[in-house]
Structure 1
Amino acid sequence: MAAPLRVGFVTGATPDKWARAWRERRREPLELVPVVEEDQEPLLRDGSLDLCLVRLPVGRDGLHVVRLYDEVPVVVVPKDHFVTAAPEVSLDDLADEQLVRPHASGWTPRVDQLEWPAMSEREAVEVVASGSGVALVPMSVARLYHRKDVATRPVTDLEPSTVALAWLVERDAEDTQAFVGVVKGRTANSSR
């Protein structure tokens, strides 16, 4: 039997509909591999993954990258936080807040930030729930790690995060192109 097509997906991305379409059309096995954002590009470049649903940016040298969709950035706060009084917030509303993942969003608030150890999105939401700060994450990540003791609000002036499909230029095989076609919505009978 052929080796499976290994498709990574970054936290929050949902490859299910594409995997289902693949399995309906193809005999080759498909293996979905969850990856954290820090590992998405290295796993593609070292050949551990054939393709990956990545969160941009990634280095474009030697990679094909197809933008798929943008995600709304949200702030995760304790349930009783003042920003929950509004349906959305701006960065000015958060300027005096402690970010528990200060470098993950690319935005730096006005106040000095504590030095936090590196942490996953799940860990960040747990820290927020304890009342020790706020986190900025894509909406899909906030939904994935939702808890009863936290709330989220869209951040209107923070750039959206973009999810894309990426693969090595040298890995442009027929099965790769077939999966790209599935993701782009080509039907089983359509051609490139």
Structure 2
Amino acid sequence: MANGGGSRGRTGRPHRAGGAKPAPSRTKAPKRDRPAPPVREEPRHFVLGAIPGATPGKWIDLWRERMPHVTLTLREITVAEQRSALDEVDAALVRLPVAASDDLHVIPLYEEQPVVVMSADSDLTAADELERADLAGEVVIVPLDDVLRVEIPDAVAPAFAAPADTAEAVATVAAGVGVVIMPMSLARAHQRRDVEYRVLRDGPGSTVALAWLRERTTADVEAFVGVVRGRTARSSR
């Protein structure tokens, strides 16, 4: 007996009008270019000179974070020999003035206040700040490595030879003899329990700068300049 309700295919499924639709063709997505692998930096060294009192710690920390493949070595240099020391380092923190020349790059960074270092028992500690006039009648000690060359009217000249360096001058002051004037960073570097210091309000400041020889300009030097100038890791030079 013939079944009603129309014809069915051999599978028992009804035929679609107009025949079966072909399956849509799948187009392959274009291959994306893979990013090039980062260039591997060869390990190398960067030597930074620094005069006493300079505090490059925060810059060194940033350098090590941004430039882990470049080992930074800190080398202490004296102010008296800072110009000649530039022949042996990549760059240096120096104290101005430094002998200017066409073969030298110099970038001033910050200025330090002058301070008077005195014995903790000195009457001068009663003041929060001092002026040159307050030092009249005081024995003002000038060590051989003095960097400020401050003239104090009516100061008393020491009856002994100038100390060889700032550390010796501070030790003399700690014994209760005289005062010594220096940039604040040096006073902090030579801080002792038996001495104190006060800002010399009308004294000369001392500028710390970054310097390097033009012929020694490299990508690493320019990277360090970016660090001290506060550039971010992604900013252009």
- Global fold match (TM > 0.5): yes
CA 111–159 in structure 1, closer or farther in 2 if over 3 Å, else same = closer
Q: Displacement, 1:116?
A: 2.5
SS at match of 1:37: coil
- 1:1-192 → structure 2 map (5 Å cutoff): 3-26=44-67, 27-44=69-86, 47-61=87-101, 62-101=103-142, 104=146, 105-109=148-152, 110-111=154-155, 113-114=157-158, 116-192=161-237
Q: Between Structure 1 and Structure 2, which shows a larger proportion of helix residues? A: 1
| Root-mean-square deviation over aligned CA pairs | 1.7
Structure 1 alignment gaps of length 5 or more? none
Q: Displacement, 1:119?
A: 2.0
Aligned partners of 2:143 and 2:163 also within 8 Å? no
Q: How many residue pairs were aligned?
A: 190
Aligned partners of 2:115 and 2:182 also within 8 Å? yes
Aligned partners of 2:150 and 2:204 also within 8 Å? no
**Residue type of the alignment partner of 2:195:** V
Cα deviation digits, residues 90-145 of structure 1 (max 9, x gap): 01111322222167222233345235335222111111101221110111111111
Q: Displacement, 1:37?
A: 1.8
CA 102–23 in structure 1, closer or farther in 2 if over 3 Å, else same = closer
**C-alpha distance in 2 between matches for 1:33 and 1:161:** 21
**Larger relative contact order (CA 8 Å, sep ≥ 6):** 1
Structure 2 alignment gaps of length 5 or more? 1-41
**Which consecutive segments of 4 or more residues in structure 1 shift more than 6 A?**
none
**C-alpha distance in 1 between matches for 2:199 and 2:60:** 29
For normalisation by structure 2, the TM-score amounts to: 0.75
Paired-residue identity, %: 44
Aligned partners of 1:71 and 1:160 also within 8 Å? yes
